[in-house]
Amino acid sequence: METKQINQAILPAGRRAGVGIHFSSLPGAYGIGDIADSALTFIEALANMRIGVWQFLPTGPTAYGDSPYQPLSAFAGNENLIGIEPLIRAGLIGSEEAQTLKQLPLEVVDYGKLIPAKNGLLATAADRFSNKIKAGKINAQLKSCYAEFLHSQGPLWLDDYALYRALKTRHGERPWPQWDQPYRYRDAAAISRIRTSSAKAIERIKIIQFLFDQQWRALRTCATQNNICLFADMPIYIALDSADAWAHPEFLRIDRDGKLAHVAGTPPDYFSADGQRWGNPLYEWDYHAANGYQWWINRLRHAATMADLIRIDHFRGFEAYWAIPVESATARYGVWETGPGDRLFDALRDALGCLPIVAEDLGVITAQVDALRLRHQIPGMKVLQFEVRDPDFQLSSIQKNCVCYTGTHDNDTTVGWFRGGNHTRTQAESEATRANALWLTGGTVATINTDMIRFAFSSDAGLAIAPMQDYLGLGCEARLNIPATTEGNWRWRLQSGQLTPAFRESVMEMVCKSSRG
């Protein structure tokens, strides 16, 4: 199929240096980092360090395993990331009411205690916001912004999401395939009744999403003023237990009860000998093609309002995807099936123009996947932890239109990786990799984290990124996620005392010497 060629720049202009850290990992007094005061303070630190790009994980509402990659919506914001201080300043909660969150640990995110406590506070804030509107005690501009939010986002995703969350609570937070049949099937009479009986809960959910939206707008403004590019992450798949799957099962290869014959994942690779069985439903690509890929257009357009760049996780699934029989306990026995390919990206470009996409093209990548990405001039990724395993690797092989990483959220930290913390390598492989890393970077055992960052910065890649843990030289204890596991992930937090003046100065010097920013 002939596809349209583009010659538009995707990555930020010039050679840029970036950092990878999710909002949940930022310092803060309320049990988790947030998109408000925590994030604004961090942007100031980035500007001081001359780091021009901030990459973070998906920001959707989490559920299973607290994973950002299994969100309850492809559009909604994670309420746990809403900042508390702006709500206090707005008079929506009292500072004494937030004391429960201040009792949570600062070192890690304790989701089990955080979620119920924060949900209670946000419900209080939403109810007070609603009461202020009804009493005419809210300023006209904010009232107008709320009305516009309901008008623009309601038909797109907000109405379905609020209804889904209200029904999910009504059913004891069980996944929608386990709901009572009238609600599972979206029976018109049952839905009409729940809109009336749960009107307050539905309104509360919408207000909470509005509060997220308002804080995000302030974040984007601050980032723009400080010349910081926001780099978001988008999972290719959606969760079965999500508002999108419940409201539009026709998008997916599932029946009206949510049952499926195959699930998504990846075959055995560097991360896992059994592969990764994610369990997400696969897309019904014929349906999307027949509808001009409108859902995908809406999804990417929405993401582009939130960030300057969007990395799409598991890009290779657009060329061919791994379909695993649902009864299979591991990902070993899947088969490759053909994805939408050029047709999807042509439709996206026709609707949106230049696509602000970076492809996560790690793992089993074929010539066909590379060709799809290159035809659409979508930057790919290079991860040095993988690349330096090859004794023939040369830094010159990293081209300008790509993003070079020391490691990602799925890797161990560079220090942990170098010390052999990654259990997928044999001792001999670890020793060979360590030797090659030292030879390539010209570094030392004691400085391997900064040596790898400087190595990435010296590449031709338009954008070079290191996780915050690597800038700080932290070990395995600071690892954020171990793929193919569901417990103990997404908990690490940066401590405010770690970003000392001396640390910031050292990072700024490293960035400036590499002619990045």
What's the token pair of residue 346?
A: 């042509």
CA distance linking residue 66 with residue 356, whole number of Å: 27
Question: Are 3 and 376 contacting, i.e. CB atoms less than 8 angstroms apart?
Answer: yes
* DSSP3 helix / strand / coil % (the chain, rounded to 5): 50, 10, 40
CA distance linking residue 168 with residue 171, whole number of Å: 5
Question: Are 267 and 237 contacting, i.e. CB atoms less than 8 angstroms apart?
Answer: no
Which of 66, 79, 85, 313 is catalytic? The answer is 313
β-partners of residue 312 are 234, 359
CA dihedral 60→62→65→70, nearest 10 degrees, is -40
* DSSP code for 32: S
Strands 320-325 and 335-338: antiparallel
Which of 34, 37, 360, 451 is catalytic? The answer is 360
CA distance linking residue 210 with residue 340, whole number of Å: 34
What is the b/e burial string over 103-129, where b = at least 16 CB atoms within 10 angstroms of the residue's CB?
A: ebeeeebebeebbebbeebbbbbbebb
Catalytic annotation on 241? no
CA dihedral 120→123→129→133, nearest 10 degrees, is -150
Strands 463-467 and 309-312: unpaired
Catalytic annotation on 85? no
Contacts for 265 with CB less than 8 Å, ≥ 6 apart: 275, 276, 277, 278, 279, 322, 324, 331, 334
Catalytic annotation on 313? yes
Residue with token string 């990072």: 507
What is the b/e burial string over 274-308, where b = at least 16 CB atoms within 10 angstroms of the residue's CB?
A: ebbbbbbbbbbbeebeeeebebbbebbeebbebbb
Contacts for 342 with CB less than 8 Å, ≥ 6 apart: 1, 3, 372, 375, 376
What's the token pair of residue 489?
A: 């992930």
Which of 241, 387, 410, 412 is catalytic? The answer is 410
Residue with token string 């030289």: 473
Q: Which residues are catalytic?
A: 313, 360, 410
